Amino acid sequence: MTEAIYPQVRIVSARFLRPDTVEQLLNRLVRIGGILRMSLTGQNLPATVPYGPARGKPNPHPDRKVIRVGDQDVQLQVQVGTVILELEDESYIPAIEEAVDEVFADKDFSCTVQKGRFMKTTPTVSDYAKYGPDADREILGLVDPRKKGGPVIIQGNK
Amino acid sequence: MNEVKENMAYKPQYGPGTSNVAANRRKQMDPNQKLEKMRDVTDEDIVLILGHRAPGAAYPTAHPPLAEQQEPDCPIRKIVTPTEGAKAGDRVRYIQFADSMFFAPCQPYQRTYTECYRFRGIDPGTLSGRQIVECRERDLEKYSKELIETELLDPARTGIRGATVHGHSLRLAENGMMFDMLQRSVLGEDGIVRYVKNQIGEPLDRAVAVGKPLDEKWLKAHTTIFHSLGGTAYRDDKEYVEYVQRIHTLRTKYGFLPKEA
């Protein structure tokens, strides 16, 4: 959950991104600073085949990689299509737009930065039923709060 | 292969429409038109992608060959010539395709129509994002070869996916490949797409090359998908819309015994 006062932006590319492009983009964004929370969304890349006759067998996928963002290693679990950011204030938005333009300048597809509300502000009845009253409100609405392994914390911007 | 009989009372039209997309659809459906061959894939490669039997292994059977068993006295069996697979008593196996909405050369409904006009002894299943066709194993291999080698397949925008087909309506990847959770086919540095897993996602012993992805211009010229963004919009093909509206009206009024004016 989030306080409604914080502005949010969503970075949407016309294509799904390769891990090295994600790495490049995120490192560029991290350098701008002012980011409170960040969520990478896209299609799930499971570690094992989820269904079908080969269910349970390992699923080696070239895009399920560990990337380095700032001083942290991040295990990608999705094919990144959208990056959602929560910012300290609106003054960071022009710098983010500039960074996105810079990263996607040599690509043959476009990428847009949208302003709006992209993270949940209040838990729903379904959230309460699924996760109970003590679910971590910081990540509720972004990922499954029951998931093992918390968020990656990237420090050193201040 | 089916062929339209010369002495038929009417000439099949295959489909309405004046647009390029409609013409492509008719071309694929018409068994008298030869589909353009785009790539060479060996029989062994097909067997590997399908993953139903080991290459070189004998065809497992579901029943004894027809020649060795007593057939009931049935008038239909006298009319219909069995296919090679049925004659030998092969198992029924499948191939399934997912076609990207970004101008793939074929799409589920189109595949079913095309296969029904062109192949014998098949059981196609059509879904929104995937199309499966079942038939006797050795017939399947023959048909699959045609489906894979001809213009019905684009290595990047068409996926041969037995399970976990998700991806037809998603954005493409950066390199132009359709999203595949199991990454069965990989675009190599040399620009050639290779299948590294069979259609259900089991890794193959060796990669199977299916050639280079076709370029955007070719895809837009050969697609059978109407697309208002960047392609031919459905509503621009007046004849197609008129035909669909007519069918819709007639079947809605069916209960009232419609008579066309």
**Eight-class DSSP state of B113:** H
pLDDT tens readout for residues A72-107: 899 999 999 999 999 999 999 999 999 999 999 999
**In chain B, domain spans:** 35-225
pLDDT at res. B189: 93
Average pLDDT over residues A126-154: 82
pLDDT band of residue A148 (cuts 50, 70, 90) is confident
The model carries a pTM of 0.88
Number of other residues whose CB lies within 10 A of the CB of residue B30: 18
Q: Which residue shows structure tokens 């969304």?
A: A41
CB atoms A15 and B162 under 8 Å:
no
Residue A88 within any structural domain of the chain: yes
Taking the C-alpha atoms of residue A79 and residue B170, their distance in angstroms, rounded to an integer, is 11
Q: Which residue shows structure tokens 């540095």?
A: B189
Beta strands in chain B (DSSP E): 92-99, 122-126, 131-136, 158-160, 185-187, 193-197, 203-209
Residue A152 within any structural domain of the chain: no
Domain B35-225 class in CATH: alpha beta
H/E element, A58: none
pLDDT band of residue A64 (cuts 50, 70, 90) is very high
Which of B174, B181, B200 is closest, CB to CB, to A53? Answer: B200
Q: Which residue shows structure tokens 């499948």?
A: B94
Residue A82 within any structural domain of the chain: yes
For residue A52, the enclosing domain spans 8-131
* Contact status, residue B159 vs residue B165, Cβ threshold 8 Å: yes
Residue A137 within any structural domain of the chain: no
H/E element, A62: none
Average pLDDT over residues B93-109: 95
CB atoms B181 and A57 under 8 Å:
no
**Eight-class DSSP state of A92:** G
Residue A44 within any structural domain of the chain: yes
pLDDT at res. A67: 94
Average pLDDT over residues B31-42: 94
CATH code, domain with A12:
3.30.70.120
Which of B171, B182, B186 is closest, CB to CB, to A14? Answer: B171
Q: Which of residues 160-179 of B touch A (CB under 8 A)?
A: 162-164, 166-167, 170-175, 179
Average pLDDT over residues B225-237: 93
Average pLDDT over residues B69-83: 90
C-alpha dihedral (B160, B171, A45, A25), degrees to nearest 10: 140
Residue A147 within any structural domain of the chain: no
CB atoms B183 and A62 under 8 Å:
yes
Instruction: Provide, rounded to the nearest whole percent, the portion of chain B with pLDDT above 90.
Output: 84
Task: Count the alpha carbons within 13 Å of A130 in the hemisphere toward its beta carbon.
Answer: 13
pLDDT band of residue B253 (cuts 50, 70, 90) is confident
Residue A150 within any structural domain of the chain: no
Number of other residues whose CB lies within 10 A of the CB of residue B118: 21
Q: Output helix, strand, coil percentages for chain A, rounded to the nearest 5.
A: 20, 30, 50
Closest chain A residue to the Cα of B176, Cα to Cα: A15
Residue A33 within any structural domain of the chain: yes
Provide the domain count of chain A. 1
